């Protein structure tokens, strides 16, 4: 099996800490994230211990409603009108967003997700049945703690990714695991900050800040970038888009070591047709083409990048007025992707919303909220058609 060259764990941890501090992102403890968000009065995303993580959901397919220019300097193009923006075998998702890793991914009719328990300070893997709306632990052994490497979940804490008919996940120790049958098995043994797949290849950002690729069928990595500190990655064609003080793009096969700027000093997300971004000084929602051209402000209201998400029709978000739990923080809004105009209120939860997740083909949103200073996670199901919502009942842990 592939194994990364061992790295200095102390230096790797320091690199991750420095990157978190520099970028204003937070770690994997929801209570700490909430506290830091209130102190800083800004949430530009949420970081887990592995910086931030690439995210994906399988089998999402749609075309662009307008032209999307290619990435600057890469020589490749984005999807044009009527073309497929996302590879049907590997759809980046949830949806190319940051928190708390890839989460709420579909696999064989079930939705897998990670949830943090403040009582035990553990993150556990669960399954959700869309038919019954019942939640159960992924591991069915009643005697298992569901947190160790001997568990069927493999001790996964982050970086859930559904791709190529299976599911992947990451551990605090920097290992990559793959679902094989009813258990997660090791793919790489350690040294991984975060990872993602594209076109059958495994891309690995290492703890010592380089970018590697395990090409399909190979057990040996090839170095793509010797210095790499990006996050929130997504790949369209042979172009990598990532976050690093704004969105950047670089051709994976170009041999370049320097990335082109798409946006500056702004959290951003892309569907392969457009880039949606919020400048750090205002957090007002903007949209531009894939090369940064034709930038347009969609909203004056400050949005919370940690919350945003989208599906085939809408861009979902909450506002960031007066802090994490400030004015309108409980409201879930949406904009039409085809004709973004005035924001539409979809639902008003009984407590501040935190993160919004979509699952292709499923008619409800998963919305997380943390209650009080203890960081207790609540998960709401929000009907995308009616705005009706219900609190998801979690099993005893």
Shortest CA distance to 80 belongs to which of 248, 312, 250, 289?
A: 289
DSSP label at residue 18:
H
pLDDT 10s digit of each residue in the chain, 397 long? 444 433 333 333 333 333 332 332 333 333 333 323 322 323 333 322 233 333 333 333 335 544 333 433 333 445 443 333 444 333 334 444 443 346 888 899 999 999 987 777 888 999 999 999 999 999 999 888 887 778 999 999 888 888 888 899 989 889 999 999 999 999 888 899 888 888 788 889 999 999 999 998 888 999 989 999 888 888 777 888 888 889 999 988 777 778 999 999 999 888 888 999 999 999 999 999 999 999 999 999 999 988 888 888 999 999 998 778 888 899 999 999 988 888 999 999 999 998 898 887 889 999 998 765 566 789 999 999 999 999 999 987 6
pLDDT of residue 190: 87
Beta carbons of 213 and 2 less than 8 angstroms apart: no
What are 17-39's pLDDT values in tens digits? 333 323 323 333 333 333 233 22
Beta carbons of 394 and 120 less than 8 angstroms apart: no
pLDDT of residue 102: 64
How many angstroms separate the CA atoms of 253 and 3, rounded? 23
pLDDT of residue 366: 94
Beta carbons of 58 and 83 less than 8 angstroms apart: no
How many angstroms separate the CA atoms of 355 and 179, rounded? 25
What are 189-209's pLDDT values in tens digits? 889 988 888 878 888 999 999
Beta carbons of 171 and 154 less than 8 angstroms apart: yes
CA-to-CA dists, residue 353 to 44, 162, 206, angstroms: 15, 25, 32
> Could you tell me the pTM of the whole model?
0.78
pLDDT of residue 113: 92
DSSP label at residue 71:
P
Beta carbons of 317 and 356 less than 8 angstroms apart: yes
The total of other beta-carbon atoms located within 10 Å of residue 381's CB is 18
pLDDT of residue 371: 67
Tokens 């894939």 belong to 290
What are 114-134's pLDDT values in tens digits? 998 777 788 899 999 999 999
Give the SS3 label for residue 314: strand
Shortest CA distance to 296 belongs to which of 274, 311, 312, 317?
A: 274
Beta bridge partners of 234: 241
pLDDT of residue 396: 78
Q: Does domain 9-391 have CATH number 2.130.10.10?
A: yes
């Amino acid at each position: 099996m592939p194994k990364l060259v061992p790295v200095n764990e102390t230096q790797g941890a320091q690199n991750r800490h420095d990157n978190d501090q520099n970028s204003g992102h937070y770690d994997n403890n929801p209570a700490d994230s909430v506290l830091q968000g209130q102190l800083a009065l800004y949430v530009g995303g949420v970081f887990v211990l592995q910086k931030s993580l690439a995210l994906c959901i399988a089998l999402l397919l749609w075309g662009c409603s307008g032209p999307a220019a290619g990435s600057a300097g890469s020589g490749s193009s984005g999807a044009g009108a009527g073309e497929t923006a996302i590879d049907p075998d590997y759809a980046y998702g949830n949806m190319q967003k940051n928190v708390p890793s890839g989460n709420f991914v579909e696999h064989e009719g079930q939705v897998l997700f990670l949830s943090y328990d403040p009582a035990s300070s553990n993150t556990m893997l669960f399954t959700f049945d869309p038919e019954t709306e019942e939640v159960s632990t992924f591991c069915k052994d009643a005697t298992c703690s569901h947190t160790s490497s001997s568990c069927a979940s493999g001790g996964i804490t982050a970086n859930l990714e559904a791709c190529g008919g299976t599911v992947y996940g990451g551990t605090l120790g920097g290992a990559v695991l793959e679902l094989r049958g009813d258990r997660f098995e090791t793919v790489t043994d350690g040294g991984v900050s975060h990872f993602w797949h594209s076109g059958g290849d495994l891309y690995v950002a290492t703890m010592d800040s380089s970018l590697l690729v395990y090409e399909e069928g190979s057990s040996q990595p090839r170095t793509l970038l010797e210095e790499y500190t990006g996050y929130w990655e997504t790949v369209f064609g042979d172009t990598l888009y990532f976050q690093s003080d704004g969105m950047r793009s670089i051709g994976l096969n170009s041999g370049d070591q320097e990335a082109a700027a798409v946006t500056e000093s702004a959290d951003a997300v892309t569907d392969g047709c457009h880039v949606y971004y919020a400048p750090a000084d205002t957090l007002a929602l903007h949209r531009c083409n894939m090369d940064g051209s034709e930038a347009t402000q969609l909203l004056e209201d400050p949005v919370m990048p940690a919350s945003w998400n989208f599906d085939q029709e809408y861009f979902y978000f909450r506002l960031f007025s007066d802090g994490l739990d400030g004015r309108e923080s409980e409201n879930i809004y949406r904009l039409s992707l085809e004709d973004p105009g005035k924001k539409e209120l979809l639902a008003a939860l009984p407590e501040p919303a935190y993160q919004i997740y979509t699952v292709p083909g499923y008619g409800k949103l998963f919305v997380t909220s943390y209650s009080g200073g203890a960081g207790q996670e609540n998960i709401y199901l929000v009907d995308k058609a009616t705005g009706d919502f219900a609190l998801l009942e979690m099993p005893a842990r």
